[in-house]
A and B are shown apart, each in its own frame.
Chain A
């Protein structure tokens, strides 16, 4: 399949794929209500957590309370944006082991877009993500933080690059089941590292403890830690934006090569 044909087929499967994933997401009413409560309590817990920290100190890793709330908003936005495809990553080894992948591979469609659109949690991410983020935003005194139009533009680019990198790494971790037949633990470890690095502790905190060594793990912190530092004008946005674009392109190329190599080595796992 050449690129043009692949692109056309991808466009054709997007709408039915999204429809199918929405049907799956909204199948259990009680669970949908439960998920809404879940994110409400999580947001409440996060805000309380920040309140508790700042009743004991005025400054956490050089972040004021309002800056910490901005960091939390960015972290939440990153988490829910990543969560859109969480189902695919967490189910990948089941898709391989149950032989569903074999059925997909025999279809004349591009496999990666198909997997993404049929396994996405679009509604859930929007439903659970938007309201809590807005609620946290209502607690922020925007006059107390240093955000400029320039820093916001750098932030958007870095955030997007971080999101693509995070998705690529999650996808690679999950799709390693093509050769190992069991990727869930690897995926979970990757997810934990990304989740924890975007939660509670700003990038400046890690720098204080680990010094320059932390830059070795640069891609992990792009999505939340570095992007919020740039947004709040704490670091040079230009340098980090340039680096994030380079790393993003490299990650996409490498993950594409690795996935295709694994796909060639893949032998049916189902009985």
Chain B
């Protein structure tokens, strides 16, 4: 518990130092806004269970269960496996989720002036999509583990792409134009950048619906795809480690 708090605090401290230096050496960047953005994206990714360098808590549960053989008992239980592992992940992530909520509260306090009731409403809508997208990424990692047994490498590759294209490393608005276009309309932006920009009223009124709609379409499309992959993975699953 103490070390979990310490690692979260260290993460916040490093973010603070980075943005402080960045704001010192650039003229078009406001430190408070950037730090609030950074805290907000960290908080969002914590509560949707995409954390740190090793994300996707639910995917990890499936991966480890496949490796130690306990996955067989998961699929024998009269529950929906995805729901079961998701709720288990939720329980295991409760500390990170609590800390994520604290990070969001701090971000709101720092940049309170930019927030309105409507922006909070849009934020909640986007957060629902972010949770859905996170579930899809989790399912994808889980399905990969069922097929390949050890899929941490692929998971890490996905994590790095997510970290960059979701705007967690640096806001997408600071990207070069071409990369900005790719990142904004990628499925990853809904997991951090879009909710953070929505709550701080950084997206123009006319574009809000289109961003949310694109997020929703990505969620539906990828959910169907990953769901099929999950089902076909289960068919291929051979009990391992028993």
Which residues on A are within 8 Å of B, measured CB to CB? Answer: 27-28, 30-38, 40-42, 44-45, 48-49, 51-53, 55-57, 59-61, 185-186, 188-189, 192-193, 195-197, 200-201, 205-206, 208-209
Q: Is there contact, CB below 8 Å, between A41 and B161?
A: yes
* Alpha-carbon separation in the docked complex, A60 to B17 (Å): 12
In the complex, the answer to whether B26 meets A45 with C-beta atoms within 8 Å is no
In the bound complex, what is the Cα–Cα distance between A46 and B220 (angstroms)? 31
Taking a contact as CB atoms under 8 Å apart, the answer to whether A56 and B29 are in contact is: yes
Q: A37-B157, A38-B157, A196-B14 are in contact. List 11 more A-B contacts (CB 8 A).
A: A28-B148, A31-B151, A31-B154, A44-B160, A52-B175, A52-B176, A55-B174, A188-B3, A201-B21, A206-B17, A209-B17
Question: How far does the alpha carbon of A52 sit from the alpha carbon of B159 in the complex, in Å?
Answer: 19
A2 to chain B, nearest CB (A): 38
If A45-B160, A196-B10, A201-B17 touch, whether A52 touches B154 (CB-CB below 8 Å) is no
Chain A residues within an 8 Å CB radius of B148: 28, 30-31, 34
Are A56 and B26 within 8 A (Cβ)? yes
Q: List residues of chain B with CB within 8 A of the CB of A209.
A: 17, 20-21
Name B164's contact: one of A30, A48, A59, A197 (CB within 8 Å). Answer: A48
Taking a contact as CB atoms under 8 Å apart, the answer to whether A49 and B169 are in contact is yes
The 10 A-B residue pairs with the shortest CB-CB distance in the complex, in nearest-first order: A34-B153, A35-B153, A34-B154, A185-B3, A38-B156, A38-B157, A28-B150, A41-B160, A45-B164, A30-B148
A-B contacts, 23 listed (Cβ < 8 Å): A30-B153, A31-B151, A35-B157, A37-B157, A38-B159, A44-B164, A45-B161, A48-B164, A49-B169, A52-B176, A56-B22, A56-B29, A57-B25, A61-B21, A185-B4, A188-B3, A189-B6, A189-B7, A192-B10, A197-B14, A201-B18, A201-B21, A209-B17
Contact residues in B for A56 (Cβ distance below 8 Å)? 22, 26, 28-29, 174
- Verify B10–A38 contact, CB threshold 8 A: no
B7 touches A192 (CB 8 A): yes
Please name all residues of chain B whose beta carbon is closer than 8 Å to the beta carbon of A59 when the two chains form the complex. Answer: 25
Contact between B153 and A38, CB atoms less than 8 A apart: yes
Is the pair A60, B22 in contact by a Cβ cutoff of 8 Å? yes
Give Cα distance in the complex from A27 to B240, angstroms: 15
Q: What mask results when residues 124 to 150 of chain B are scored 1 for a CB within 8 Å of chain A, else 0?
A: 000000000000000000000000111
**In contact, A192 and B152 (Cβ under 8 angstroms):** no
Q: Is B57 an interface residue (CB 8 A)?
A: no
Contact B163 A45, beta carbon cutoff 8 Å? yes
- Given the known interface contacts A48-B164, A61-B25, A185-B7, the answer about A53 and B153 at a Cβ–Cβ threshold of 8 Å is no
Chain A residues positioned under 8 Å from B239 (CB to CB): none
Which residues of A sit under 8 angstroms from B14, Cβ to Cβ? 196-197, 200-201
> How would residues 1 to 39 of chain B score, 1 for a CB under 8 Å from any chain A CB and 0 otherwise?
011101100110010011011101110110000000000
Most chain B CB neighbours (cut-off 10 Å) among A38, A51, A197: A38
What residue in chain B is nearest A51 (Cβ atoms)?
A: B176
Which among A37, A48, A193 is the interface contact of B153 at CB below 8 angstroms?
A37
| B179 interface contact, C-beta 8 A | yes
B169 surroundings in chain A (CB, below 8 A): 45, 49
Given contacts A60-B22, A185-B4, A188-B7, contact A38 B154 (CB under 8 A): yes
**Residue of B17, B24, B170, B176 with most chain A CB atoms under a 10 A cut-off:** B17
